[in-house]
Amino acid sequence: MVDAWIAMVMGLLIFAGSLLSVEAGISVALIEIVLGVVAGNLLSVHTTPWIDYLAGFGSIVLTFLAGAEVDTGLTNLPIGKLIMASTFITNFGTAAALSIMFIRPTPWIFVFLLASAVIVLIVPYLSSKRRRQGKGGSDDPGKQARSGCPGCYRFLRMLRRTGSITTMCPVRERC
């Protein structure tokens, strides 16, 4: 019966939050968070495992919605494309560094690393073979001198093929 009471209170709070957000013109998520804090402190409403699951799922959805509302007009400029690419590289590097710091070695990690290494070594060969056969994307004969490291140049070439960037160099005078 306690779970049914908690579900009823949560449902009423969500409904009240929706009504208040429409009337006040404030984000429904903000009002629901405030109502949840008030209900938790005044009504002694405690979470259950299914509410914890919904809370985690809701935070993921809110994060996705916040990312979907990002103004993409910046990506029309060369500096915007460079910022987007560098943000991706920075986030990927941070995730990789944290993974390495907190890794717990198991046999499956070595299997994953071996499979990843095989893929990294085989894919460039297969993609160049497809390009020679005329089945690949646009062939860019650019020089690796445009970038200090060949891996960065390959990454920029990949972004160019996908249409994410239109030029290989954000500063046109150097290219």
Distance, first Cα to last Cα, the chain: 71
Higher pLDDT among residues 159 and 10, named by residue: 10
Q: What is the mean pLDDT of residues 106-130?
A: 85
pLDDT at 175: 45
pLDDT at 84: 82
- pLDDT for residue 6 is more than 90: no
pLDDT at 147: 39
Full-model pTM: 0.36
Give 86: exposed, middle or buried? Use CB within 10 Å, 0-12, 13-18, 19+. Answer: exposed
pLDDT at 58: 85
pLDDT at 93: 92
Quote the mean pLDDT of the chain.
Answer: 77
pLDDT at 97: 92
* DSSP 8-state code for residue 101: H
Return the percentage of the chain with pLDDT > 90, whole number: 9
Q: What is the mean pLDDT of residues 106-118?
A: 89
Helices 78-101 and 150-162: angle between axes, nearest 10 degrees: 120
pLDDT at 146: 45
Q: Band of the pLDDT at 149, cuts 50, 70, 90? A: low
- pLDDT for residue 134 is more than 60: yes
pLDDT at 145: 39
Cβ–Cβ under 8 Å, residues 164 and 85: yes
Q: Band of the pLDDT at 139, cuts 50, 70, 90? A: very low
Kindly list the domain boundaries of the chain, sorted by start residue: 2-68, 74-88+143-175
